[in-house]
Amino acid sequence: MSAIHTESNATIPIAVPVRATALLGNHPQAARRPNVDFTGRRIHFMGAGGIGVSALMELCASRGALVSGCDCSDKGQVPALRARGIAIDASHCASHAETCDELVYSAAVPKTHPEVQHALKLERETTTRMRMLGKIADGTRAVCVTGAHGKTTTTWLIARTLIAARRNPSVLVGGVVKELGGNVRTGQGEEFVAEVDESDNRLSEVVPSIPVLTNIDNDHLDNYGSIDNIESALCRFLSSTDVSDPRAVLVGCGDDPRVRRVLLQARTATRLPAITYGFKGNCDLRAINLRSSTGTQEDCAGWVFDVLGPFGLWVDVNLPMPGEHNILNALAAISVAWHLGISQDCVRSALSGIERVGRRFEIKGTVRGVRVVDDYGHHPTEIRATIAAARQNARGRVGMIFQPHRYTRTASLMQDFASCFAAADALFLMPIYAASEAPIPGVDHGSLARAITLYGKPVQVCIAADRNEAVNMAAAWAKSGDTILTQGAGDVTRAGDELVSRL
């Protein structure tokens, strides 16, 4: 028997789940199969260049749908989709609605958009991106990974473990994976491993069989209003778990008090077993004896650790990813794999040979002894974790080119941003990436620089007029042994390759 500790320090028991075979009992169960038939259905996707929408297009096409798409540019995933023979228009047009049965639009597209309005006028079905994900997942064993941080890496860790176990899952990851040749995999197995983005407050449109909750943090407040509202939405999501699936289970990071509270409430609502993982002693699966593995300036050290759980002790688990946060991500994958009856040897092999997802501490190169690493993290919690990962085997100083993402996030988390760079030696600040938002008076990278300076860290803060100037500043600052991070969710991703070339 394990326990959840609430903020009031009361101890509430959570039953440790039995193995999957025991959950199935001695009675044969119907196989999990998709419920929605897309054969011959003409589906048009707006925002096709996005990493999430493009994956949905490929999954629908693999099930027989006739897909097409449009975006406002030829960038993002558009070239990859065209290479697969999918028609993509590099502009939005209301006439797209005339040749489809269903129009799918992303959170970036308002329902007042002329293309959506024309589809409604023609009585075509209009579907949100998240609702389409729910349709694809319907009937499968949907392993849905959500939470503020770590979703993408956790999704890939789980997916690779299931692939290694020959369960042939379908997969949707929120980043490019070299092994997949993209971010999507179409399989014939019962499991569908999907990253489920909570940002636009539409979690209710997807029903999981195995929800995995990584953590809860104060992000996307423009859509939720408060962290309490985020917690409530996540609680509803876990409580909606498909109890008809004999292998349904709730999984979450037990080190996070809010996650533990959500697990307790969802377990009460569903009467399903729950698995907690983390570093703390009250978790069902716990990482202990952490040791940094050997690594070079080029490939970066990872971890060797032991895992203590209901299955006993697994010694010397190898994970070639830096940062303690990635150990938590690996524990989530181990929790799901153990519950599904995947062998220890298979799990170990899958984790030890895994490659990182693109833009998740992706090493762009080492030039003249300077290591350049690109990372997608754009929330203060993620930035702290990335700097800590860089410090894990840094020979010299750590600098960062950072591009704030959205005016609303910068404004609401200004004080958190002011302190999250404290472990860096230098910061080169790019202007805020608007992501379609209107500017907020008094909120810019200059005001952020002032807040960081008032906090007193890092030692050097430089304000750049644009990405090119930030790259030049970082190149002039760097010397052999240093690590420079290019950090953020906007076009700062191009800075990594540019810095390698400049060096």
The residues assigned a catalytic role are 151-152, 195
What DSSP character marks residue 91? S
224: β partners: none
The amino acid occupying position 167 is R
What does the alpha-carbon distance between residue 282 and residue 40 come to, in Å, rounded to a whole number?
Answer: 51
Give strand ranges (E) for 106-233: 125-128, 141-146, 170-177, 182-185, 191-195, 210-213
Spatial contact of 297 and 395, defined as CB atoms under 8 Å apart: yes
Six token digits for residue 469: 């100037």
Helix axes 151-164, 324-339, angle to 10 degrees: 40
| Cα of 276 vs its chain's centroid, Å | 19
Spatial contact of 323 and 3, defined as CB atoms under 8 Å apart: no
Give strand ranges (E) for 293-404: 303-309, 312-319, 362-367, 370-375, 398-402
The amino acid occupying position 335 is S
Helix (H, G, I), strand (E, B) or coil at 66: strand
Helix (H, G, I), strand (E, B) or coil at 82: helix
Residue with tokens 């449009």: 70
What does the alpha-carbon distance between residue 1 and residue 283 come to, in Å, rounded to a whole number?
Answer: 10
| DSSP track, 309-333 | ETTEEEEEEEE---SHHHHHHHHHH
Within 8 A by CB and 6+ apart from 166, the residues are none
Residue with tokens 């307790």: 264
Helix (H, G, I), strand (E, B) or coil at 192: strand
Within 8 A by CB and 6+ apart from 174, the residues are 51, 52, 151, 152, 155, 183, 195, 197
Six token digits for residue 82: 């065209």
What does the alpha-carbon distance between residue 131 and residue 103 come to, in Å, rounded to a whole number?
Answer: 12
Within 8 A by CB and 6+ apart from 189, the residues are 162, 167, 168, 169, 170
The closest of 55, 326, 80 to 192, measured between CA atoms, is 55
Q: Strands 370-375, 210-213: parallel, antiparallel or unpaired by DSSP?
A: unpaired
Within 8 A by CB and 6+ apart from 114, the residues are 92, 94
